[in-house]
Amino acid sequence: MAKGLANGYPIGAVITTKAIADSMKGVLHYNTFGGGPMAMAAADAVMDVYEKENLAANAKKVGDRLVSGLKKVQLKDERVGEVRGMGLMIGVELVKDRKSKEFAPDLALRVVESMKEQGVLVGKGGLEGNVVRIKPPLIWTVQDADRTVAAFEQALKDA
Protein backbone atom coordinates (compact mmCIF):
# COMPACT_ATOMS: atom_id res chain seq x y z
CA MET A 1 0.00 0.00 0.00
CA ALA A 2 1.09 3.58 -0.42
CA LYS A 3 -0.58 6.74 -1.80
CA GLY A 4 -2.57 8.17 1.12
CA LEU A 5 -0.37 6.62 3.79
CA ALA A 6 1.68 9.83 4.12
CA ASN A 7 -0.64 12.25 2.28
CA GLY A 8 1.51 12.44 -0.83
CA TYR A 9 4.93 12.02 0.76
CA PRO A 10 6.65 9.04 -0.91
CA ILE A 11 6.20 5.93 1.21
CA GLY A 12 5.11 2.37 0.72
CA ALA A 13 4.23 -0.48 3.02
CA VAL A 14 3.73 -4.22 2.76
CA ILE A 15 1.22 -6.09 4.90
CA THR A 16 1.31 -9.86 4.77
CA THR A 17 1.09 -13.02 6.82
CA LYS A 18 3.89 -14.17 9.10
CA ALA A 19 4.56 -17.17 6.84
CA ILE A 20 5.08 -14.99 3.76
CA ALA A 21 7.16 -12.47 5.71
CA ASP A 22 9.36 -15.29 7.06
CA SER A 23 9.96 -16.51 3.49
CA MET A 24 11.40 -13.09 2.63
CA LYS A 25 14.33 -13.29 5.05
CA GLY A 26 17.40 -11.72 3.50
CA VAL A 27 15.42 -9.67 0.98
CA LEU A 28 16.48 -6.05 1.24
CA HIS A 29 13.80 -4.40 -0.87
CA TYR A 30 10.01 -4.76 -0.67
CA ASN A 31 8.91 -1.55 -2.34
CA THR A 32 10.18 1.61 -3.99
CA PHE A 33 9.55 3.96 -1.09
CA GLY A 34 10.02 2.17 2.18
CA GLY A 35 10.40 3.43 5.69
CA GLY A 36 12.95 6.26 5.71
CA PRO A 37 12.79 8.53 8.78
CA MET A 38 11.07 11.46 7.02
CA ALA A 39 8.54 9.18 5.34
CA MET A 40 7.80 7.42 8.61
CA ALA A 41 7.32 10.75 10.43
CA ALA A 42 4.93 11.93 7.69
CA ALA A 43 2.96 8.68 7.79
CA ASP A 44 2.79 8.78 11.59
CA ALA A 45 1.38 12.32 11.48
CA VAL A 46 -1.16 11.36 8.80
CA MET A 47 -2.28 8.31 10.79
CA ASP A 48 -2.78 10.57 13.83
CA VAL A 49 -5.11 12.78 11.78
CA TYR A 50 -6.98 9.73 10.40
CA GLU A 51 -7.63 8.56 13.95
CA LYS A 52 -8.36 11.99 15.49
CA GLU A 53 -10.85 12.94 12.77
CA ASN A 54 -12.31 9.42 12.55
CA LEU A 55 -11.85 9.39 8.78
CA ALA A 56 -12.40 5.65 8.39
CA ALA A 57 -15.90 5.94 9.90
CA ASN A 58 -16.57 8.99 7.73
CA ALA A 59 -15.52 7.06 4.63
CA LYS A 60 -17.95 4.29 5.50
CA LYS A 61 -20.85 6.65 6.23
CA VAL A 62 -20.34 8.81 3.15
CA GLY A 63 -19.48 5.81 0.96
CA ASP A 64 -22.68 4.04 2.02
CA ARG A 65 -24.66 7.18 1.10
CA LEU A 66 -22.90 7.42 -2.27
CA VAL A 67 -23.47 3.75 -3.13
CA SER A 68 -27.10 3.95 -2.04
CA GLY A 69 -27.71 6.97 -4.28
CA LEU A 70 -25.93 5.40 -7.24
CA LYS A 71 -27.94 2.19 -6.85
CA LYS A 72 -31.14 4.26 -7.01
CA VAL A 73 -29.91 5.67 -10.32
CA GLN A 74 -29.12 2.09 -11.41
CA LEU A 75 -32.75 1.10 -10.85
CA LYS A 76 -33.85 3.85 -13.26
CA ASP A 77 -31.22 3.45 -15.99
CA GLU A 78 -30.43 0.17 -17.78
CA ARG A 79 -26.99 1.50 -18.74
CA VAL A 80 -25.76 1.24 -15.15
CA GLY A 81 -24.60 -2.35 -15.04
CA GLU A 82 -23.10 -2.51 -11.58
CA VAL A 83 -22.26 -0.25 -8.65
CA ARG A 84 -19.39 -1.65 -6.60
CA GLY A 85 -16.82 -0.62 -4.08
CA MET A 86 -16.11 -0.04 -0.44
CA GLY A 87 -15.85 3.13 1.58
CA LEU A 88 -14.96 5.97 -0.76
CA MET A 89 -13.56 3.83 -3.60
CA ILE A 90 -16.52 3.28 -5.89
CA GLY A 91 -16.79 1.96 -9.44
CA VAL A 92 -19.87 2.29 -11.62
CA GLU A 93 -19.82 -0.04 -14.60
CA LEU A 94 -21.60 1.32 -17.65
CA VAL A 95 -23.05 -1.02 -20.25
CA LYS A 96 -25.19 -0.61 -23.33
CA ASP A 97 -27.95 -2.45 -21.45
CA ARG A 98 -28.02 -4.86 -18.51
CA LYS A 99 -29.36 -7.73 -20.61
CA SER A 100 -26.46 -7.86 -23.09
CA LYS A 101 -23.94 -6.46 -20.57
CA GLU A 102 -22.02 -5.07 -23.54
CA PHE A 103 -19.39 -2.62 -22.30
CA ALA A 104 -20.04 1.07 -22.97
CA PRO A 105 -16.66 2.89 -22.91
CA ASP A 106 -17.96 5.75 -25.07
CA LEU A 107 -20.78 6.34 -22.60
CA ALA A 108 -18.30 6.31 -19.71
CA LEU A 109 -16.23 8.99 -21.44
CA ARG A 110 -19.29 11.16 -22.04
CA VAL A 111 -20.41 10.74 -18.41
CA VAL A 112 -16.96 11.68 -17.06
CA GLU A 113 -16.84 14.77 -19.30
CA SER A 114 -20.38 15.83 -18.38
CA MET A 115 -19.64 15.46 -14.69
CA LYS A 116 -16.49 17.54 -15.12
CA GLU A 117 -18.56 20.28 -16.77
CA GLN A 118 -20.82 20.13 -13.69
CA GLY A 119 -17.79 20.61 -11.42
CA VAL A 120 -17.50 17.00 -10.24
CA LEU A 121 -14.23 15.26 -11.04
CA VAL A 122 -14.28 11.49 -11.47
CA GLY A 123 -12.12 9.08 -13.44
CA LYS A 124 -12.61 6.37 -16.01
CA GLY A 125 -11.07 2.92 -15.86
CA GLY A 126 -11.68 -0.78 -15.99
CA LEU A 127 -10.21 -3.19 -18.51
CA GLU A 128 -12.67 -2.00 -21.15
CA GLY A 129 -12.69 1.68 -20.09
CA ASN A 130 -16.35 1.52 -19.11
CA VAL A 131 -16.12 2.07 -15.36
CA VAL A 132 -16.64 5.48 -13.80
CA ARG A 133 -14.26 5.68 -10.84
CA ILE A 134 -15.23 7.79 -7.86
CA LYS A 135 -12.32 8.15 -5.40
CA PRO A 136 -12.79 11.31 -3.35
CA PRO A 137 -10.82 12.45 -0.29
CA LEU A 138 -11.68 10.98 3.09
CA ILE A 139 -13.01 14.34 4.33
CA TRP A 140 -15.97 14.19 1.95
CA THR A 141 -19.45 14.88 3.34
CA VAL A 142 -22.85 13.35 2.61
CA GLN A 143 -23.65 16.60 0.76
CA ASP A 144 -20.66 15.93 -1.53
CA ALA A 145 -21.95 12.40 -2.11
CA ASP A 146 -25.44 13.68 -2.94
CA ARG A 147 -24.02 16.27 -5.34
CA THR A 148 -22.01 13.55 -7.10
CA VAL A 149 -25.06 11.30 -7.46
CA ALA A 150 -27.06 14.20 -8.92
CA ALA A 151 -24.24 15.02 -11.35
CA PHE A 152 -23.96 11.36 -12.37
CA GLU A 153 -27.68 11.11 -12.98
CA GLN A 154 -27.63 14.32 -15.05
CA ALA A 155 -24.59 13.10 -16.99
CA LEU A 156 -26.46 9.92 -17.94
CA LYS A 157 -29.40 12.03 -19.14
CA ASP A 158 -27.05 14.25 -21.14
CA ALA A 159 -25.31 11.27 -22.71
pTM for this one? 0.84
Q: Which CATH class is domain 55-158?
A: alpha beta
CB atoms within 10 A of CB 103: 19
pLDDT tens-digit profile, the chain (159 residues): 777 788 888 887 778 899 988 888 877 666 666 668 888 899 999 999 999 999 999 999 999 999 999 999 999 999 999 999 999 999 999 999 999 999 999 999 999 999 999 999 999 999 999 999 999 999 999 999 999 999 999 999 999
Measured over all CA atoms, what is the biggest interatomic distance in the chain, rounded to whole angstroms? 57
Residues of each domain in the chain carrying CATH 3.90.1150.10: 55-158
**Per-residue pLDDT at 32:** 63
**Per-residue pLDDT at 8:** 83
CB atoms within 10 A of CB 159: 17
**Per-residue pLDDT at 31:** 62
**Per-residue pLDDT at 11:** 84
**Per-residue pLDDT at 61:** 98
3-state secondary structure (DSSP) of residue 90: strand
**Per-residue pLDDT at 27:** 75
Provide the edge-to-edge strand list for the sheet that holds 123-125: 80-86, 89-94, 131-134, 123-125
Cα gap 95→105, rounded to integer Å: 8
**Per-residue pLDDT at 16:** 87
